[in-house]
Copies of this chain bind each other. A is one copy, B any other.
Amino acid sequence: MCRLMLYLGPEATLSALIVEPEHSLIRQSVHSKEREEPLNGDGFGIGWYASGHSAEPAVFRSITPAWNNRNLQNLARVVTSDCVLAHVRAATQSSGVNDANCHPFRWRQYLCMHNGDVANFRLVRRKLLESVCDEAFGNVYGSTDSEHFFALFIDSLLKSNEPDPALRMAQALASAIGRVLELVRGTGAAEDSYLNIAISDGEHAVVSRFTDAADGKPESLYYVTGQIYRDVGPTAKRKGTQAVVVSSERLTPDHRWKEVPPNQIIILRRDRAPQFVDALTAAPL
């Protein structure tokens, strides 16, 4: 599996987000604290929204480990953003290490990344692809369960009429989780799925912490809100001072880190406290 981190807040350098924290994602690529298998060296990816340039986010992905990538270190030092998604990968057997399989995945203004796995994916894949619209189908370039899950999300989003963009994303995420579990059941699989999924459009974000395992223990997921990173850049004031980080592990020893409750989706908006909904129904909790 993998490690992920999402940031929504005032403009900050990538370095402040993914390099400097004591347990930063780059350090997690070498030494994850909360997993038995500590290594996430099968590539990485960073997606970020550039204030004032283009709605379409930039993505930088590589099949080399995050910890030794000089381009990443250079970029992180000078690039700023008010919405960042970052991911380090530990490839599972079923899909190879190549650029098309690195998270985050992009469709229009959306970015998606995943920590976990879809049970029995080799059998699920085909029926999943058959179940989505052409637009969602056409966005699949690689062979990961994660990118295929994103196609389900896209399909659900396109069918939704919900006007609130954050709620629409949360509902589409809950719908996609339900649909993939249904597909897994259809294969007769006894395995469990782990679906920590983070999706953003640059202004809002939704992150699920979910498993259907009998022991009810999803992969770890934490969040922290408040004045966490040094603000930079001229847009900081326009966008409010509320910052949120959601991460597979606590990035700092800060006591304010809290767990995202199991089987819930955390909804992030720039101007509000995080909101929690059920991961299968998107109903408020």
| In contact, A54 and B71 (Cβ under 8 angstroms) | no
- A53: which of B13, B63, B71, B91 is its contact (CB, 8 Å)? B13
Q: Which of the 9-residue segments A136-144, A161-169, A209-217, A274-282 touches chain B?
A: A136-144
Given contacts A61-B70, A126-B134, 11 further A-B contacts (CB under 8 A): A39-B41, A58-B74, A63-B64, A68-B91, A79-B79, A98-B98, A98-B99, A100-B101, A125-B138, A130-B130, A140-B143
Assembly of this chain: how many copies?
A: 4
Q: Give the residues in chain B near A61, CB-CB below 8 Å.
A: 70-71
What's the Cα separation between A106 and B183 when bound, in Å? Answer: 28
- A60: which of B41, B52, B74, B125 is its contact (CB, 8 Å)? B74
What's the Cα separation between A63 and B62 when bound, in Å? Answer: 12
Asked whether any CB of chain B lies closer than 8 Å to the CB of A249, the reply is no
The digit string for A41-67, where 1 denotes a CB below 8 A from any CB of B, is 110000010101110111111111101
Asked whether any CB of chain B lies closer than 8 Å to the CB of A97, the reply is yes
| In contact, A71 and B62 (Cβ under 8 angstroms) | yes
What's the Cα separation between A98 and B99 when bound, in Å? Answer: 6
Asked whether any CB of chain B lies closer than 8 Å to the CB of A253, the reply is no
Interface centre among A54, A97, A143, A232 (most CB of B within 10 A): A97
The digit string for A67-88, where 1 denotes a CB below 8 A from any CB of B, is 1101100110111100000000
| In contact, A70 and B96 (Cβ under 8 angstroms) | yes
Asked whether any CB of chain B lies closer than 8 Å to the CB of A234, the reply is yes
- A143: which of B42, B59, B141 is its contact (CB, 8 Å)? B141
Binding site for B on A (CB under 8 A): 13, 30, 38-39, 41-42, 48, 50, 52-54, 56-65, 67-68, 70-71, 74-75, 77-80, 91, 95-101, 122, 125-126, 129-130, 134, 137-138, 140-143, 232-234
| In contact, B58 and A75 (Cβ under 8 angstroms) | yes
In the complex formed, the residue of B with least CB distance to A45 is B71
- A41: which of B41, B58, B71, B75 is its contact (CB, 8 Å)? B41
In the complex formed, the residue of B with least CB distance to A71 is B60
In the complex, 26 of the A-B residue pairs with CB atoms within 8 angstroms, ordered by the A residue number, are A30-B39, A38-B38, A39-B39, A41-B65, A42-B65, A42-B68, A50-B79, A52-B232, A53-B80, A53-B232, A58-B74, A60-B74, A60-B75, A63-B64, A64-B97, A68-B96, A70-B96, A97-B99, A98-B142, A100-B100, A100-B143, A126-B129, A126-B137, A129-B129, A141-B143, A142-B142
